Every structure is written in structure tokens, then in C-alpha cells.
Amino acid sequence: MAVPTLIVHLLPAGVLGFVICGFLASGLSTIGSNLGAAATLAANDIYGRFVNRKATQRELLVAVRIATVLAGVLMIAVTYLVPYLGGAVDAYLTIISIMDMPLFVIAIPYGLLWKRATWQGAMAAYAAGSAAGAMLRFGFGLEVAPVTLISGVVAAVVCPAVSLLTTGARPIPEPEDLPAPRAPASLARRAGLSAVGLGFLVVLAGILMASQAAPYSSTLALIGLAIFFAGGLWAAAYP
């Protein structure tokens, strides 16, 4: 209640107007960027790649508009679920634990660091991780921390398993599409990539400690994130 108290009781009328305008501008800019991202994703990565590969610019524009409307309706519908999730903060954390953690596991360790990952493995892992998180959160009433950990672990297990089973389903690239041969990674780059993996494991350890209400779990997770990003920057600086 600190911010509402400050706004209602301590700010003069003129400043109060600026603060309210700032809140509205922040919310509208966030909604606008999210709608744009969702519409672009639906039009380019789904409609233009899987539904109609020969789509014209006009057809893509229509797809973007339809996706924008659908995403906006979905946003409005989700807001009615916020009270049932314990408030805005709990709803936000719930969405992260169910939807973001599997995506993080798939995109970073497998999408960037494992060349044998397939799109079938990524989709199956995301669906399995999200479904497991939703079942544990809404079906069994688990807290956010264990849900985040388990959804990530499920995605981490399913992605390589399905990828290995669907390796043969990859389209055979044309010779002109093949990347040029690259020299083996340098020792410095391998060290950076190893730090990325180590940081990811440290973050998972911090999440596991948080699920058990252990002290310093947040500090451990932040240290893991620092190692993760530092390793990525170090690896990117060397061929």
C-alpha cells in the first residue's frame, strides 16, 4: 500500500495528474508493444511460415490485424482471472512459472547451445512444461517456486528426448543454404559457454532453495544470473 498511500495522501493535485498520466502511458506502451509482438509472431512465424508460405504483403497485413484483435480480446479475458489467482502479483508470478520458465530452458540451453534440437522437440517441451506447471499450480495448489522448477525440469527432459526421436524429420537443406565451415571454438569461447551452463545450474539451485524457504536463495539466483550473462558476453567476444 506504499504507492497508493503516497499518491492519494502526499502528492499535490498537479503532481498527482502527472503521476496518473505516467501510469496510463506506461500501461498503454506495454500493451501496445505486447500486441505488436504477438501480431508479428502470429503473422510472420505462424501464418507466413506454416499456413501460407506464399502470402502477399496484403495478406500478411490482414493476418497481423486479425492477430492483434485476438490478442487484445485474450488480454482482456485474462484480466478477469486475476482475482482468482490471488491478485496481480501472484497472477504475474504464476504466468512466469508456467509459461516463461519452459521457454527459457528451451531457448537458451538447447536453442543456443545444442545444435541437434528440433522444432518438434521445442514445441513438445514447451507444451509439456506448461501443462505440468498448470496442473501443479491449479490442480495441486503448489506454490510458485516449485512450479517454476518442475516446469523447467520437464521442458529440459522432454526437449532432448523428442529432438533425438525427430532428428530425421528435419528438411534437407539446399547446398546454398548450408553455413560455411567454422573453425573449432577457441578455449576462451568454450570457457564462456561453460560459464553459461554453470550460471544456469546455479539459478536452478537458487529456485530449488527458494521452494524450501532456504535463506540466501535469492542471492544465489542473482549470482547465477550474473555468471550466466557474464559467460554469454565472454563467449560472444571470442570466435
Stated as kind and residue range, the H or E segment containing 78 is helix 57-79
Range of the domain at 62: 15-80
What's the confidence (pLDDT) of residue 184?
66
Question: What pLDDT score does 83 carry?
Answer: 85
* Residues, the chain: 239
95-104 pLDDT per residue, tens: 888 988 898 8
- Is 23 domain-assigned? yes
Q: Rounded to whole angstroms, how far apart are CA atoms 218 and 145?
A: 11
Task: Work out the average pLDDT over 187-208.
Answer: 88
Measured on CA atoms in the order 9, 11, 17, 20, is the torsion positive or negative? negative
Give the range among 39-43, 82-86, 138-142, 157-161 with minimum mean pLDDT.
Answer: 82-86
What's the CA gap between 21 and 28, in Å, rounded? Answer: 10
Q: What is the percent of the chain with per-residue pLDDT over 70, rounded to a whole number?
A: 92
Grid look-up 484483435 returns 69
pLDDT confidence band for 183 (50 / 70 / 90): low
**Average pLDDT of the residues of the chain:** 85
Asked if residue 59 belongs to a domain, the reply is: yes
Averaged pLDDT, 139-150: 89
Domain assignment present for 32: yes
Residue 36 forms part of a structural domain: yes
Range 144-158 average pLDDT: 91
Residue 177 predicted with pLDDT over 60: no
Is 173 a member of any domain? no
pTM of the model as a whole: 0.62
More confident residue, 153 or 108: 153
Is residue 35 assigned to a domain?
yes
The verdict on residue 22 lying in a domain is yes
Averaged pLDDT, 189-196 = 89
Q: What is the total count of domains within the chain?
A: 1
Residue-level pLDDT at 208: 81
Give a yes or no: residue 85 inside a domain: no
| Helical spans, DSSP H, in the chain | 2-5, 13-40, 57-79, 88-95, 101-105, 111-113, 119-134, 144-165, 187-211, 217-236
Q: What is the pLDDT of residues 82-131, one digit of tens each?
A: 888 788 888 888 888 898 889 888 888 888 778 888 989 999 999 999 99
